[in-house]
Structures are given as C-alpha cells and as structure tokens.
C-alpha cells in the first residue's frame, strides 16, 4: 500500500516543477491522505530511484534517457504525459576555431562523455552523441565522420539538491575544449549558455535553428512523465490529481513569465541571463503535458537512437507503455474549472 507520493524532476522547465514550487503537489498528496516526498531532498539511498524508477508511489518528470532505460530494464512504469520545451542545444567550438557550420565538423575531435555506472546514468553520453548526430545530418555527415574523444564523467551522478548546488557546472567538455584536447562539444540548457559566454566559446551549429523537430530530439525533447504502475493501479485518482495540478501550473505559467523565470533560476542553478538565453520569451506558454501522436512518435525516434547505440537493455513496444486515461481525465477536470471560473 502506497503511503507516500514521491516526486522527482530534472532541473528544467516543467509544469510539475512549477506546481511543486507553488505547493500544489503537496496539497494533492495531503488531500489523498498521503505523505509527500521529493527525491532531490531525500536520503541518498532513495535519490537513486530518480534513475531506476522502481520506487512504489513515484512520479517522475525528467529526461527521457533514464526513463526509457529504466523501462527497457523492466521497471514497472507507465508513460502518462509528454512535454516539449525547446531548451538551447548547440555545438560549441573554441574562440579561435574556424568552424562555422556542420560541414566544418568533419574530421574533428568531438568530446563525448564516457559511460557512467549504468545505461540510465549515462545520459550525458547519450545527449552528446545524439546532439552531434543531429548536427551532422544536414551536412550529409554521420558520427563516423568525426573522431570521438571520451570525456571524464561522474560514474554515479546524484540528484540531491545540495549536491546539485555544489556542482553547479553541468556542461561537459569545456576544459578539454579550452586546452585543445577536443575541437567541439555539445551543450544544452541555461547553464551551458552562461558557460559559453564566460569562456568566449562560439556556436558552430545552433540545433534550435533546425526547422524540423526530428533534429532537436534529445534527452529533454520530448520529456516524459512516468509513474510507477503500483501507484497508477492502486491510487489512480492521485495520478489524475498530480496531472491536474500540472495543467493548472501550466495555465498559471502562461500568464506569468517573470514568475516562471524566477522559479527556473532556482531549478537550473543559473542566473537570469542564462534562463532568458536558453528558453526565450515564449516557452512559458507551452508547458502543458500531452500525449499527441507527434510527441509519442518523436519519443520513438529517441528510443530507436538509444537502442541502436546501446543505451537500452532491450527494445520494447512504445504504444503499450502509454497510459492515456489519467491525462485525459485531468484535462476534463481542469477544463470544467475554466468554464465555471
């Protein structure tokens, strides 16, 4: 029997993260007679469930690499929502590099984080590989056209709040790029934007400029919301309530850009300029989770890439992973509230 509603998220823009910051997720748990816990603030032995998702009572919104890897390893999860927030993705080169486009990457040494402790925790490697693959494709190039140089990486990354604060830099390869060990690195997000400015690094390929979403698919695009199957089966109303609070938070965010940016500075461990540079001025209007055919298909693109490159223990059927009923019910509840307001 589930006694605690557990929640975990990545340090990025999410409606559930906003709902948590506003205190609404705790209210949902309390109204259901459950305690409320956040893995980022929990004991170290619990924090690891962020990657494994084998804790009964857990709802996770975060990068798709750990979510897909956990499901491929047999974790009993269901996919209950997807978001798509374009956060800055780019290939950076050094201040003196002559490279200005994807074609110029041919033959270069590209920094790719090494494998971590397991497939789920190797998300930095997966992000960089897919980032470079997407950057090279418009030029008719593939990963075989560049030289991979492995970068040191934490083998067991942590998600606890105080550890994240202490290790504020989340951009892999900057020292190696500056000292000439590698010629190009992949970066993403608010803190990456700040790091590039601090060191005078140049953007060789701006992945956000791609007109097709397929070339922007990566760990955070699309971003899944997953739930442990035990919670969904035993307390479906709690899952619906969680999603309803996320939808309400997305509605709130659409009308309060400054408020959202304030929350994001805490979530991303970045300053105001980094948040603005990474997410722009319109992202707050599109935080609502959905399970559209397009988003599920784009997650399938990521799943196939991860399977091909060894990040999944086994392939699995994506459609059977989806549980659309909770989100549909949450939409009905919130839509009724809008009408009566």
pLDDT for the residue 47: 81
3-state secondary structure 200-268: CCEEEEEHHHCCCHHHHCECCECEEEEEEHHHHHHCHHHHHHHHHHHHHHHHHHHCCHHHHHHHHHHHH
Structure confidence at residue 74 (pLDDT): 96
pLDDT computed for residue 46 by the predictor? 85
pLDDT level of residue 163 (50, 70, 90 thresholds): very low
Question: Which pLDDT value is given to residue 148?
Answer: 97
Q: What is the band of 280 on the pLDDT scale with cuts at 50, 70, 90?
A: low
Element (H, E) at 29: helix 24-31
Please tell me the distance from the alpha carbon of residue 238 to that of residue 236, in angstroms, as a whole number. 5
Q: What is the pLDDT, as a whole number, of residue 165?
A: 42
pLDDT at 276 over 90: no
Q: Of 65, 36, 35, which is closest to residue 52 (Cα–Cα)?
A: 65
Which pLDDT value is given to residue 266? Answer: 65
CA–CA distance, 328 with 262 (Å, rounded to integer) = 30
Strands (E), the chain: 4-9, 35-38, 58-61, 77-83, 89-93, 109-113, 147-151, 184-188, 202-206, 223-228
Q: Is the pLDDT of residue 314 over 80?
A: yes
Measure CA of the first residue to CA of the last residue in the chain; give whole Å.
Answer: 36
* Residue 295 pLDDT grade (very low, low, confident, very high; cuts 50, 70, 90): very high
- State the pLDDT at residue 92: 96
pLDDT for the residue numbered 153: 87
pLDDT of 282 > 70? The answer is no
- Which range is least confidently modeled, 58-72, 137-151, 253-267? 253-267
| Residue 158: other Cβ atoms inside 10 A | 17
Mean pLDDT of 257-283: 64
Range in 10-19, 110-119, 182-191 the model is least confident about: 10-19
pLDDT at 162: 44
Which one of 169-178, 197-206, 236-245, 255-264 scores highest in mean pLDDT? 236-245
State pLDDT tens for residues 204-236: 999 988 889 999 999 999 999 999 999 999 999
SS3 (DSSP) at 24: helix
Distance of CA 341 to the CA centre of its chain: 33
Backbone φ and ψ for 293, nearest 5 degrees, come out as: -60, -40
165 contacts 269 by C-beta, under 8 angstroms: yes
Q: Mean pLDDT over residues 57-76, rounded?
A: 96
- Alpha-carbon span 96 to 255, nearest angstrom: 42
Half-sphere exposure of 104 (CA within 13 A, CB side): 13
72 Cβ contact list (under 8 Å, min separation 6)? 119, 307, 312, 313, 314, 315, 316
List strands edge to edge, sheet with 109-113: 147-151, 109-113, 184-188, 89-93, 202-206
Please compute the mean of the pLDDT values over residues 315-323 and round it to a whole number. 97
Q: State residue 144's pLDDT score.
A: 98
Mean pLDDT of 18-33: 95
Query: Rounded mean pLDDT of the chain?
Result: 89
Residue 267 pLDDT grade (very low, low, confident, very high; cuts 50, 70, 90): low
Of residues 283 and 298, more confidence is placed in 298
Distance in angstroms (rounded) separating the CA atoms of residues 54 and 215: 31
Residue 68 is predicted with a pLDDT of 98
Lowest mean pLDDT among 68-82, 161-175, 280-294: 161-175
**Mean pLDDT value across residues 107-123:** 96
What pLDDT score was predicted for residue 110?
Answer: 98
DSSP state of 42: S
């Amino acid at each position: 029997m589930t006694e605690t509603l557990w929640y975990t998220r990545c340090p990025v823009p999410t409606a559930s993260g906003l709902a948590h910051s506003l205190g609404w997720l705790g209210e949902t748990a309390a109204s259901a007679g459950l305690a409320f816990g956040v893995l980022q603030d929990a004991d170290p032995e619990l924090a690891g469930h962020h990657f494994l998702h084998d804790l009964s009572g857990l709802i996770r919104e975060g990068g798709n690499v750990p979510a897909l890897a956990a499901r491929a390893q047999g974790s009993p999860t269901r996919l209950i929502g997807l978001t798509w927030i374009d956060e800055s993705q780019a290939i950076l080169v050094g201040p003196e590099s002559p490279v200005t486009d994807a074609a110029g990457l041919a033959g270069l040494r590209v920094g790719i984080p090494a494998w971590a402790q397991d497939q789920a925790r190797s998300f930095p490697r997966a992000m960089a590989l897919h980032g470079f693959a997407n950057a090279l494709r418009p030029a008719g190039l593939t990963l075989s056209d560049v030289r991979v140089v492995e970068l040191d990486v934490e083998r067991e990354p942590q998600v606890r709040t105080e550890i994240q604060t202490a290790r504020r830099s989340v951009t892999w390869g900057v020292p190696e790029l500056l000292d000439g060990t590698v010629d190009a690195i992949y970066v993403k997000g608010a803190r990456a934007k700040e790091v590039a400015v601090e060191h005078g690094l140049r953007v060789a390929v701006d992945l956000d400029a791609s007109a097709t979403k397929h070339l922007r698919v990566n760990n955070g695009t699309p971003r899944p919301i997953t739930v442990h199957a035990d919670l969904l089966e035993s307390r479906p109303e709690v899952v619906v309530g969680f999603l309803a609070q996320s939808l309400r938070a997305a509605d709130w965010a659409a009308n309060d850009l400054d408020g959202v940016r304030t929350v994001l500075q805490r979530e991303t461990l970045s300053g105001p300029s980094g948040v603005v540079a990474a997410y722009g001025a319109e992202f707050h209007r599109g935080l609502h989770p959905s399970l559209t055919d397009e988003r599920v298909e784009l997650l399938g693109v990521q799943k196939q890439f991860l399977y091909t490159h060894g990040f999944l223990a086994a392939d699995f059927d994506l459609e059977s992973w989806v549980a659309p009923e909770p989100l549909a019910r949450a939409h009905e509840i919130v839509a009724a509230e809008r009408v009566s307001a």
